[in-house]
Amino acid sequence: MTSIVIPAHNEGRVIGRLLDALLADSPSSGPDIVVVCNGCTDDTARVAAARGDRVRVVEIPTPSKHTALRVGDEHARGFPRLYVDADVVVGAADVRALTGALDADPALLAAAPGRDVPPTGCAWPVRAYYRVWQRLPAVREGLFGRGVIAVTEEGHERIAALPPLMADDLAASLAFGPGERRVVEAARVVVRPPRTWSDLIRRKVRAATSSAEFERFQAGREAGPGAAPSARTGTSDLRALLRADPELLPAVVVFAVAALAARRGARRAIRDQDFSTWLRDESSRQ
């Protein structure tokens, strides 16, 4: 049986749309859906429980995504297993496409859906930023930044061994080699971007902080053959985009400004080794 684990911290405004999409056009026998409400002070648990017996709700007092994922594992019933963020939207047909890809290729350990980032209601600098971000090779090919990852039982063993990291989806993506992971474009997930520039910067400060934590984790591991995998964007990536499409220049400038602002904003957290403060933008949850 396919299991879906959804960690949710104060997601009462948005979790209903995800659960409705997962439950629509899916048999009453599955998939197995577990919502782990972690440290919630809103009505997340009530909203999830209102979807009926097909959704099992587990409540824990600790506001920790990593803990919620492990608790979800304790309650989940089968594989392939999907981990889904509560603020995205992915449907039952998309789940079937992901699990079908894993079942069809024994070498494949992890898969994620293609990403749709609707720009409606976003300020123009935010739209410009995502025009660039979505074209970056690491963003196109990696499993991170999608809010959904599906794994086999063997793939689960690999990500379950990872320590608690803020950049959990990045770490999970880079835990698999190119032949072990796949973006399944036939499956789609809707990831709503922040609407305002300030919320975008909050999100990017979090990304910069979590990337620094992940790089420290990599540096502390025993050195293996070859360079450590990375998803960092370099100036060469931006130059390549401009060579392919010179009209992207204004958007690339916006992207660079956002990256610099995020780096400055993350300095204090990195200096203080504060890798637990979660800067969440609320505009994408409206």
Span 173-190, pLDDT tens digits: 999 999 999 999 999 999
DSSP-based three-state secondary structure for 116: strand
**Vertex 236, ends 267 and 125: CA angle to 5°?**
60
pTM of the model: 0.91
Instruction: Grade residue 40 by pLDDT with cuts at 50, 70 and 90.
Output: very high
pLDDT, greater one: 215 or 183: 183
Tokens encoding 20: 């409705």
pLDDT, greater one: 94 or 221: 94
The whole-number pLDDT of residue 271 equals 86
Q: What percent of the chain has pLDDT over 90?
A: 75
Q: Which residues pair with 3 in a beta bridge?
A: 32, 81
Per-residue pLDDT for 222 more than 60? Answer: no
Average pLDDT, the chain: 91
> What is the CA 284 to chain-centroid distance, rounded?
14
Per-residue pLDDT for 170 more than 80? Answer: yes
DSSP-based three-state secondary structure for 115: strand
Work out the end-to-end distance of the chain between its first and last CA atoms, rounded to an integer number of angstroms.
33
The whole-number pLDDT of residue 227 equals 43
The whole-number pLDDT of residue 225 equals 43
Helix ranges (H only) for the chain are 15-23, 44-49, 65-75, 92-104, 124-133, 137-141, 153-160, 168-174, 197-220, 235-244, 249-271
What average pLDDT does this structure show over 196-208?
A: 92
CB-neighbour burial class of residue 90 (10 A; exposed 0-12, middle 13-18, buried 19+): buried
Tokens encoding 172: 């999970």
Q: Which residues pair with 183 in a beta bridge?
A: 112
The dihedrals phi and psi of 43, each to the nearest 5 degrees, come to -100, 25
Instruction: Grade residue 279 by pLDDT with cuts at 50, 70 and 90.
Output: low
Handedness of CA 280, 278, 189, 84 (dihedral sign): negative
What average pLDDT does this structure show over 43-60?
A: 97
Place of tokens 């123009």: 124
Instruction: Grade residue 25 by pLDDT with cuts at 50, 70 and 90.
Output: confident
